[in-house]
Every structure is written in structure tokens, then in C-alpha cells.
Chains A and B, each alone.
Chain A
Amino acid sequence: MAEPSLKASVPSAKAAVAEATAVLATEQLLSMYRKMVLIRRVEESLLDLAGSGKIGGAMHTAIGHEGAAVGMAAALRPQDYLTCTYRGHHHSLARGMDPRRAICEVLGKAPGFAKGKGGSMHFLDPSLGLMGANGIVGAQVPHAAGMALAAKIRGDDRVAITFFGEGALYQGLMHETFNMAQKWKLPVIFYCENNRYSEMTPISRTSSVAEIHLFARAYGMESVQIDGNNVEVVYETVARAAARARAGEGPTFIEGVTYRLAGHMANDLETYRSAEEIDMQRSYEPLTQLQQTLLGRGVAADLLAQLRAEVEQEVQSAVEFALEAPWPDVAEAYTDVYKV
């Protein structure tokens, strides 16, 4: 079988949404750029902390995936439900989670959003519509469909979006969920962040179908393949999917092609790909793309540097806050088993 295409941009899909890519004002793109830099720097800082042995367990960063999260956050309403895979720091940060509480949670510190009980794989904040990242591949996908079902039962106009990797497509419950969501026209968006590796195994060795957005077509579901590294394309595609969902037209499957620039998890040996492959992807990655767009619109390079410096300070102070934060009281080990 041929190796997967390493090209991140997907011309056909881009064409499908091309007419709308200029809708975002420069001001908004700048705020998206700032968010993407924030995500990138939080993730890099977490990798540093993992490298120095301060983080236990498995931690999966989304370096290179920022486009999906930031484009989505701009396209949806704050009360719209979101669930995601354990590679889910970026979705939460994009929706407004405080980086201090995020880093504390990964370190298992008391000010973490879940008091240090959930950690890296269980990012959430229901007040921001963040209904949970999940440690089991694909398990969060029916949850989002269930939240969409809840919206339908209640008769409100919330939509649900769920993020998963292409590796999740080979779990049986995906088939079950796609079928029911389409049959019942649920207001849910299935966003597949196709980074072309299921953990350490390339898609060429896992998938019977080369173009994975075609899976959804089997259910009669609206399905589109896009450049997931282009934040404007993501924004437009998610906004359209949400409008369809709110209009009662049912689910949309979005394959956002992307690339994971860091390892599957912290301390991944990355024996499965070459340095050249990763380097080649750097010119397509979301931050590079958006930076080019902004410079092309006449934004001064100094302004971008200033934004980066602001973010740097914010992230460093968040890391310091987390390192100095207290551990949870040991009594917390016994709380929250049941809700009373």
C-alpha cells in the first residue's frame, strides 16, 4: 500500500469553502493567532515539564492541531457542547480555559479544574460547554451524540461537536453512533482530526479506505474533507455544519487533515517517522499558515512578535503558578465517588 500523502493542504476541499474564506476580520484573525500561540506554548511547556519528570502518566499534546480547535471555537456558541479525545488540551484552551488551571490539572495540583483527579486526558469545564476529553478512544463520540439528543428532546438549539482522531474510526461504536445520529438527524458535528497516525501506526497500515471522509458517506451523512491546518477553512466549515445542525438537517462529518508535529505522547521515541517528514510539514502547519495570511493582509511583523511576547509571559507565569500550587488534600481521594 502506498504511504499516505504528506501534503497538508487539500485543494478540492479548500475549493468547496473558498468563497467564504475572507469573512473573518483581521482583528478576529489576530485574536485567533494569539490563541493558537497560547496553545502551542502551553503544550511546549507541558512537554518540558514532562521531560523534567514532573508529569505522571500519559500526556498527548496537540502541537500542529491548533487550527481545528481555534477555528471551531470561533464558529460555535459558548453553550454548544464539546467532547474530545485525550489529545484535547487545545479544544479547552481555545474555548477559554484558564491556562493556570489547565497546567495545574496536568500536574495533579489542587487548583486544577478537576482538583487534579482527571489530568491531561480528561480536560473539561461544563461552564464553557467543555463536556470532557476521554481516555478511551472513541468513547466521547456517542456522548456528544447523546448531548445532541438531549438538545433535541429539550427542544433547544444547542449543537454538539466531538473531536476524534482518524484512529477512532476503527472502533465499533463509531459505526453505531454515526448510524443513529444520521437516522435521527441529531444536531452533532463529527470532527475527525486526521493526523495520519493512529498512535504510532500510519493510516496506510490501518485503514481499508484511503479517503476517510468517505466512511461517513456510507450513512448518507454530509461529509467534507478540509485543510484542518487552515483556521479560516475550519471556521467556515464548522460554522456551516452548525447552521445545518441547528436547522434540523442533521450531522456533518468533517475530516480536517492535519499533522501532529510532536510525538503521540510525551517521551514518544518516534521511530515511525523521519525528521524530514516532520520538517516538511512545518510549512503547512496552522501557525505558519495564519502568520502568512496576517502578514499578507499587511499586519506588521512587530505586532505578531508583541502578541507572542505577551503570550510567553502569560504561559510562564501559569507554569510558575502551577509549580508552586498546593497538592490536593488527601481527603479528596475519597470524595466525588458518588454525587450526594
Chain B
Amino acid sequence: MRKTTFIQAINEALREEMQRDERVFLIGEDIGHYGGLFRVTRNLLDEFGERRVIDTPISEQGFMGMAVGAAMAGLRPIVELMYMDFYLVCADQIFNQAAKMHYMTGGLLNVPMVIRGQQGGGKGYGSQHSSSVESTFAQFPGIKVVAPSTPYDAKGLLVSAIRDENPVLFLEHKMLYFTRGELPDAEVDYTVPIGKSEVKRAGKDLTLATFGYTLLQALEAAEELQAEQGIDLEIVDLRSITPLDMEGVLTSVARTGRLLAVHESQSNAGIGAEIVARTYEEAPYLLKAPARRLGMAPASLPVSKPLEEELLPWKRNIKAAVLEMMK
């Protein structure tokens, strides 16, 4: 084991899968010669050449559509969206094409591609470069959605995503890029299964279900709540949004009797609302107090730091929600 950054973990997964499988190639804006706006794909052009690391013009509809076609033809494209917000520019190719292809062809075709890139707030990028998109994607069967919170999960989940036979959205929170964590040595082939949550902090008072960067915020909130209030949070890292590991969530709720679901996409009709609804449908008897969700307030993220922090479901807002639930 060694310590690496989140970026390094993703870069390694890309490189090792490209070495292992000739069908894997990368396509996107500034990913080759520049190495990616966030340097996630650096050095890959040198190793694999322009045939497999393809810099595109700023044409999201076009290159997303070409990736779908290449996947239909048996290759395994990995598309970088520079900012996840840009999925809206090429939404038809993602939702009407990639996600529906296997179903509407009666299983004759499949689209084994990964769409990856960074999302989320915290860096002052403003309304069109800070969105979190997982809840919207969760509305579409046919595409899987994963969002790791540690370098270990990032590498293991990305390898699983690349080897999957279906389109997979791989979400990297921009605040996670320079976080560090343990990673097995490069030659160790491991995967993290899609659709399996993991308890990242064991506790007895309340289950906090989240993923991605808000998981780190939740861990900090948990330590402070423990020290300040004696409240003991259990934190479940969903890791996958589609498929959603409700079994993992409910197993935890069975221990704590309380549930708070946290995410950066909109609270309204978001994935947290789904988790809460399914908890009431499937196991309402587990709950000692009403289950809640905490997502983004109904606004897009502003540039100004205090405004951004006001809206994001980060530590301060998480602590306030937990305290209210523990009253």
C-alpha cells in the first residue's frame, strides 16, 4: 500500500485498463496534449499515442455521439466531460441513445462506455460549472452512476466501470482531486463492485447516507458532533447511485433507527428523496424519528464564497440537520 491522490488513482486506473484491453480509448477536450484540464489524463498520450488518446474540438454532442457509436461497434470509449454541467449539451446522446440502446434493440446492441469528469461546488466556479448531476441521471434506467469518495474506491470503481457492458457515469468531485489515501501497489488488480455501499464510519445514533465529497464533510461533522454533543453517526458511503444499495442503507438504519441522506444535487426530487421514500416503503418500522434528506437548496451555485457555503450541504448544514433530528 502507498498514499496517492484521487487524481493519481484515476490516472492509474485509466492507464492499467488501457494496457490490459486494446479496446479502451480516451476521447475528450484537452485530454491528450494538455493532459486534461485537471491533469487526470496526464502522460497517457505519451504512452498510448493519438490513436487512443483523442483530443476533440469543443463539440460535446459530436464526440459523445461518436463514443456511443464506437461502443456499439465493440470498443470501450472513456469520454471526459470537462465539467459535468456540459452533459446537458449532449444529453440526447447520453439518455436517448446510450442509456436506451440495449433495451430498444431488444438486447442486440450494448454501449460499454464510461463518461467521467468532475462536478460539484466549493471552488467558486458558479452556476454553469458546479452542478451535481447524479439525481438527474438516476431518472434514466440503462446507465449506471458511481461516485467514489476515496482514491481506493476511485480506482476500483473506475476499473469496474470500464469493464462493465453498460454505459457508466463516473463522477469525480472537484474537491476530492488532491485528497490522499491508501492505494494497493500498482500491480495489484482489484475492483470495487458497482452497486455496493460501504460503512465508512460505524456509529449507533443516526445513519448518514452519502457519497463523493459530502462524505468527507460528513466525516468531519461526525467527529465534531461526537466531541461536542456525544452524537455517534454511522456513515454509509453509497459509492453507487445507480444501482442504489438500499440493502446497505437499511442494514445501517436497523442499527441506528435514524436516516439522513445527503448529496449536492437538488434536494427537490433528488436521490435523497428517493432513499427516504424507499426507506418508508420498505422498512418504516426501523425508524425512531422521521427520515430526512439534505441536498442543494433550490438555487444554482453562485460564485461568491459565503453564498456558495450557505447553499452547499456541507459540514455546517449537515450538523444543523443532525441536531434537529436528534432533538
Chain A residues with a Cβ under 8 A of chain B? 81, 83, 112-118, 122, 124-126, 131-132, 134-136, 139, 141-147, 149-154, 160, 172-173, 175-177, 179-180, 183, 335-340
Contact = CB atoms under 8 A, between A and B. Distances in A.
Given A131-B73, A139-B97, A149-B70, A180 B56 contact: yes
29 contacts: A81-B73, A114-B108, A117-B103, A118-B105, A118-B106, A122-B105, A132-B105, A139-B93, A143-B72, A145-B62, A146-B67, A147-B72, A149-B54, A150-B73, A150-B74, A153-B51, A153-B52, A160-B69, A176-B59, A176-B61, A176-B63, A180-B57, A180-B59, A180-B63, A180-B66, A183-B57, A337-B103, A339-B107, A339-B112
B109 A177 contact: no
Contacts of B101: 132
Given A136-B92, A149-B54, 9 more contacts: A116-B106, A117-B105, A132-B101, A136-B96, A139-B92, A146-B73, A150-B75, A153-B25, A338-B102
Contact of A176 (B57, B67, B103): B57
B66 A149 contact: yes
B149 interface: no
Contacts of B66: 142-143, 145-146, 149, 177, 180
Which 8 pairs show the lowest CB-CB distances between chains A and B? Answer: A146-B69, A142-B65, A176-B62, A114-B106, A143-B69, A146-B66, A176-B59, A173-B61
B47 to A, nearest CB: 16
B126 to A, nearest CB: 24
B206 interface: no
A250 to B, nearest CB: 15
A145 B56 CA distance: 13
Contacts of B105: 114, 117-118, 122, 124, 132, 336
Which bucket holds chain B's interface residue count?
35 or more
B310 interface: no
A124 to B, nearest CB: 6
A339 B105 CA distance: 12
A338 B166 contact: yes
A83 B70 CA distance: 12
B256 interface: no
A146 B96 contact: no
A160 B69 CA distance: 10
Contacts of A114: 104-108
B104 A122 contact: yes
Given A117-B104, A117-B106, A149 B69 contact: yes
Contacts of A152: 51
A117 B109 CA distance: 13
Interface in B47-86: 51-52, 54, 56-57, 59, 61-75, 77
Given A139-B92, A180-B59, A336 B103 contact: yes
Nearest to B90: A173
Contacts of B112: 339
Nearest to A115: B106
A113 B142 CA distance: 20
A59 to B, nearest CB: 15
A145 B102 contact: no
A59 B165 CA distance: 31
Contacts of B230: none
Contact of A147 (B63, B73, B93, B102): B73
B101 to A, nearest CB: 8
Given A114-B104, A126-B108, A143 B62 contact: no
